[in-house]
Amino acid sequence: GVGGIDALTRAAQLVPELTERKRLLDQHTGICTALLAEIKSRELDNFFSLESAIVSGSVYNAKSALMQVFSQDALGSAEDKLRLFVIYYLCNPQISDADSNEYTEALESL
């Protein structure tokens, strides 16, 4: 009857709004998917964990952890690795000359 036609008319009027909502949802889903792929490919979650541990002073054997991350095989961009070192240095400015040379060589080889 008439109620069915009214409901169908209202539904038809909502189509453009729902289409736009779907477009925006698809766009945001695409952005989130791309961000997640970048986070995974660079292991940014691991960088964040190590950076947080360095800042809080709870990292165990920081030199070993840093040298492992600074290896060419390790994921993460050169910028990620340099950011990690800057955080480490700001939290630990009294680095020995020997350690400083090792870090410099590792970072320069990236």
**pLDDT, tens digit, 9 for 90 and up, residues 34-57:** 999 999 999 999 999 999 999 999
* C-alpha span between 50 and 30 (Å, rounded): 28
Q: Does residue 5 have a pLDDT over 90? A: no
Q: What is the pLDDT of residue 4?
A: 81
Q: What is the pLDDT of residue 7?
A: 87
Q: What is the pLDDT of residue 36?
A: 97
For residue 75, give every residue at least 6 positions away whose Cβ sits within 8 Å of its Cβ, in sequence order, or none. 41, 42, 43
* C-alpha span between 88 and 75 (Å, rounded): 18
Mean pLDDT of 82-102: 95
